[in-house]
Amino acid sequence: MTQTEKKVRVRFAPSPTGYLHIGGLRTALYNYLFAKKKVGTFVLRVEDTDQKRFVEGAVENLIQALEQMGLSWDEGVYIMDHGTCNIEHEKKNSKTYAGIVEVGEFGPYVQSERLELYKKYAEQLVKDGKAYYCFCDCERLEQMREKQQQAKLPPMYDRYCLDNLTSAEIAQKLAEKCPAVVRLKVPKDEIIEFEDLVRGKVTFASNTIDDQVLLKSDGFPTYHLANVVDDHLMEITEVIRGEEWLPSTPKHILLYRAFGWQEPQFAHIPLLLNADKSKLSKRQGDVAVEDYLQKGYLKEAVINFVAMLGWNPGEGSVQEIFSMAELIEKFDLKKVHKAGAVFDLKKLDWLNAQYIKKLSVDELHNSAKTFFEAKEFFETWNVKRAVWSVAEKEEYLKKVLAIEQDRLANLSQVGDENEFFFKDIAYEKSLLAWKEMTDQQVKESLQKSLQVLGDTSESQWTRELLEQNLLAAAGEKRGELLWPLRACLTGVQKSPSPFDCAWVLGKEETLKRLQRALQLF
């Protein structure tokens, strides 16, 4: 079977060094969309060979973040008994991580459980003359680099061990268990060329490539060796990853050639940039997927936003809102941009607002409930409403959300602009006057509102009927009636309409606030 005839197999292979970066989510999403469109296989692998940067709990966090964002994978690592781990295949417990299981025929899917494999392949390269042992200590390497810097030469290993040690000396050092690494013997004076699915033809000169370390002295592989061995053995057909890995690609291609293996196709997606065109980093703001979910961004909006960071359907399309099904249908690596993609938070806010507007009130309530509960004013309100049933409280919150829905950019904003729905209010009497109204005119206006609303039955207490009745009472002098009413219900200069406020507050509370206002006169 040729490369083009192989079933598509792609992978997302995060390192457990922290939370899922928004850039990592985009890489995972592009792999997911590509696999789904090609009816291929999406693999989740854990690249945990960099033990110095390992963060406890990061594997679980990465998996949970992908689950939260609605991505699913066909094989690899899963959290036992989670929703994504419902594949009807044999599950093997991870030897490294409690509660993690592996599903698939190409495991283990945790690199730290594959050390013997990497050692075997590294030794095979040495035997074939494609790699060599290096015994140089840190002191010598540092001195070498300093001399290269002084001579304004690129920092590259000088092949001291390759050129100066005999086979007998190497064997003796190995027998004495001297610390050693295995380095790739990079061929000289060659041009490495490949066709990138995003960037087109890319070429590198082999003379610019260092004899990189493949196997460290502690027996752990470097990213380069583990990545190539795993991608080959797991039959990965396309490697879709960030642009930062582009300089490593010629090293990987040389490794494939050294092993005599067919390399996969590569696709390097553009960097994510801050507004000032610097690389998106934690120093300049939130970059973890979890941060955005905690701030009240809907997963559908984040997925939509991330998909378009460096990609669009092209052909003059003006569509900006895509369901997951539409993204799968339209996704094409040929339409991924080469230039860096600017992370525009204003665009994310706009997209999120569009998704919030599309929710039913029940869906919005379910999504916003935890954000309400985190508010300081909510706790006090909840205690005051202790006599209310759960259903009554939920109904009240749904009314607040119905008023706020069109103005929310994210769910963390719920209630912030309308705390008067939850708190006792206080204000100066002057707030109640519309333009040059006298105290007597304000009093008469409030009395008229009290009469109209007092005559409105509970069954008629709807947004539509409240508006209809109050506008009829106001006649042509709307401001004189509606401003004092709205001010006495909210205690602030800016708020939703008095009809909306009265509807949310309910008849009893609305009449109470009107009567309190009248006591000022």
The residues annotated as belonging to the active site are 282
Q: What are the residues whose beta carbons fall under 8 Å from the beta carbon of 479, sequence distance 6 or more?
A: 434, 435
| Cα 295-301-305 angle, rounded to 5 deg | 105
What type of residue sits at position 116? E
CA distances from 438 to 442, 470, 492 (A): 6, 21, 19
Residue 339 token pair: 């230039």
CA–CA dist 50, 17 (Å, integer)? 9
Centre a 10 Å sphere on the Cβ of residue 233 and count the other Cβ atoms it contains: 13
Q: What is the maximal distance between C-alpha atoms in the chain? A: 109
Beta-strand ranges (E) seen in 262-405 are 265-269, 272-273, 341-342
**Interatomic CA distance for residues 234 and 109, integer angstroms:** 9
Please give, one letter per residue, the 3-state secondary structure of 127-166. HCCCEEEECCCHHHHHHHHHHHHHCCCCCCCCCHHHHHCC
User: Which helix (H) or strand (E) covers residue 44, if one does?
Assistant: strand 41-44
Nearest CA-CA partner of 453 in 521, 497, 506: 506
Residue 13 CA to residue 25 CA, distance in Å, equals: 11
Rounded-to-integer distance, Cα 372 and Cα 18, Å: 28
Cβ distance 144 to 151 under 8 Å? no
Taking the C-alpha atoms of residue 103 and residue 118, their distance in angstroms, rounded to an integer, is: 21
